[in-house]
Chain A
């Protein structure tokens, strides 16, 4: 992944979420959400089910338009951009339920992920022009490197749908990395993984950060989230209720209330 995400110096946030609102019918899925993601950091986005985490992911990636509010990526508003344009700018994601191209090989999944980074046009690729060939060889090398990175190099020619679930998750991470993102959104990457796999995943995420990629992580495995995150944002019922370093957030009363149920407020009977 050379020459990709050049780390920005200083503390300019890579992603700024400003006052984002989204309602589905009468339900306020996102209620004036605002926070920043520091460059090359890991931010854990936590909250009970239905807090709006996945909705926020959908809004950031452009799969869903917010009702109001603005999202700025690397200092530029991306509000009007379509999904593939945001991918081209450097926003990639994985899904809670793993959305692979099941009938295609592991290698082909990555190659498709590289699609936005190749320039050869369709006609050129059909005519097998030398430039295209070179580019496709290069793409293949990059894809193999990514498979190495997640440890799937020996399964490149297997059908991706036949892989065990944990490996499919790794493959999806590798596919997201193929787009050479600067921001990677991971939606419950540890769901369905065993402890060893979860440990490996944690190392992998830190490794991704060390490559200068910013990570926004939704994860219910609290020990994983708290151990690898630099920063935590807590959502509840569409609103942001807390934000800060893991230790501070863990001690926060509003967070405890959201997770464990509201403390009985002393009222007169």
Chain B
């Protein structure tokens, strides 16, 4: 029982991080119909930026956190402006290959800036782990859960309540319609990239204290986030959250009860299963519009 609870806690922590990453995938897809395979690299940038700003430059955690998110979001928008927008023939396959190329580029850049060593920083609040029924929950895990909840609520409000959010959704639902009602499409895509990579940075900056951050951490995190997003239903915000947590928890159970070598395999087994059984994901809608 205690064991199970412990796996659950560690699964929830990882799951929350996957959820934020999945959220980034899902919201970008929601607004632009695009899957950014460089997303994991923005998570890496978030983590390493956080490391540099706190451990390197000695900036306090809270300002460092916000600066990190702003810097990475700016990098994401720059990426859109330089690599996505100029594409003459923006077919999905072309754009996906571009994002794959960007991920390799960003990984290389990360290696040049931060080297090949792994870095680590102290937790946001130096509190002893919380003891619940004999299982230990890290304070940083609680932080991450709080951040995920706040982000999801914020995004939900943004899409449901604000005109900008609705306009963004409209772009994804019907490009031609959005075009003709006068939505500045280019700005919307730019904004979506900024928000999405900003979310990636939040994930990266939040896990910097509980993991070793290095230039090559983004690939696997990105894939996990993508799995989470697919699992829950690409394009669905709540689906991304659900998928992320589910993946994290199942992964932890797999490690605990089967074998630790099983950790990364869990994600891909789940992804395959989803693609076979329910391609639209758990919360995804059956009708996926293509144009």
Does A84 sit within 8 A of B, measured CB to CB?
yes
A136–B179 Cα gap in the complex (Å)?
A: 21
Q: Contact: A104 with B166, CB < 8 Å?
A: yes
A125–B191 Cα gap in the complex (Å)?
A: 14
* Chain A residue contacts of B164, Cβ below 8 A: 115, 122, 125-126
* Chain B residue contacts of A83, Cβ below 8 A: 179-180, 182
Does B183 sit within 8 A of A, measured CB to CB?
yes
* Chain B residue contacts of A253, Cβ below 8 A: none
A207–B166 Cα gap in the complex (Å)?
A: 29
Q: Can you list 7 pairs linking A and B with CB atoms under 8 Å apart?
A: A95-B177, A102-B173, A104-B169, A109-B170, A112-B170, A112-B183, A120-B163
Classify the secondary structure of A's interface with B: helix
A112-B167, A116-B181 known, 16 other contacts, Cβ within 8 Å: A61-B180, A84-B182, A84-B183, A84-B184, A86-B182, A87-B181, A92-B180, A99-B177, A101-B177, A102-B289, A112-B183, A115-B163, A115-B164, A115-B183, A122-B164, A175-B181
Question: Which residue of chain B has the shortest Cβ distance to A135 in the bound complex?
Answer: B163
* Chain B residue contacts of A116, Cβ below 8 A: 181-183
- Given A95-B180, A99-B180, A179-B181, answer yes or no on A104-B170 (Cβ-Cβ < 8 Å): yes
* Chain B residue contacts of A104, Cβ below 8 A: 166, 169-170, 173
Does A113 sit within 8 A of B, measured CB to CB?
yes
B163 to chain A, nearest CB (A): 6
* Chain B residue contacts of A86, Cβ below 8 A: 182
A interface residues with partner B (beta carbon < 8 Å)? 61, 63, 83-84, 86-88, 92-93, 95, 99-104, 108-109, 111-116, 118, 120, 122, 125-126, 132, 136, 139, 175-176, 178-179
* Chain A residue contacts of B174, Cβ below 8 A: 99-102
What are the 9 tightest A-B residue pairs by CB atom distance, in nearest-first order?
A: A87-B182, A99-B177, A116-B182, A125-B162, A84-B182, A101-B173, A112-B170, A113-B181, A99-B176
- Cβ 8 A contact of A101, one of B154, B161, B169, B285: B169
A83–B163 Cα gap in the complex (Å)?
A: 19
* Chain B residue contacts of A103, Cβ below 8 A: 173, 285, 289
* Chain B residue contacts of A87, Cβ below 8 A: 180-182
Question: Which residue of chain B has the shortest Cβ distance to A100 in the bound complex?
Answer: B177
Binary interface encoding of chain B residues 165-198 relative to chain A, with 1 for a CB under 8 A from any of its CBs, else 0: 1110110011011111111110000010000000
Q: Contact: A136 with B166, CB < 8 Å?
A: no
B287 to chain A, nearest CB (A): 9
A33–B183 Cα gap in the complex (Å)?
A: 29
Does B257 sit within 8 A of A, measured CB to CB?
no
* Chain B residue contacts of A108, Cβ below 8 A: 166
- Cβ 8 A contact of A126, one of B154, B170, B173, B180: B154
- Given A99-B176, A112-B163, A112-B166, answer yes or no on A126-B158 (Cβ-Cβ < 8 Å): yes
A141–B66 Cα gap in the complex (Å)?
A: 37
Q: Contact: A63 with B154, CB < 8 Å?
A: no
Question: Which residue of chain B has the shortest Cβ distance to A97 in the bound complex?
Answer: B176
A216–B173 Cα gap in the complex (Å)?
A: 27
Residue of B167, B169, B181, B184 with most partner-chain A CB within 10 A: B181
- Cβ 8 A contact of A122, one of B170, B180, B191: B191
* Chain A residue contacts of B185, Cβ below 8 A: 84
Q: Contact: A139 with B163, CB < 8 Å?
A: yes
Q: Contact: A136 with B162, CB < 8 Å?
A: yes
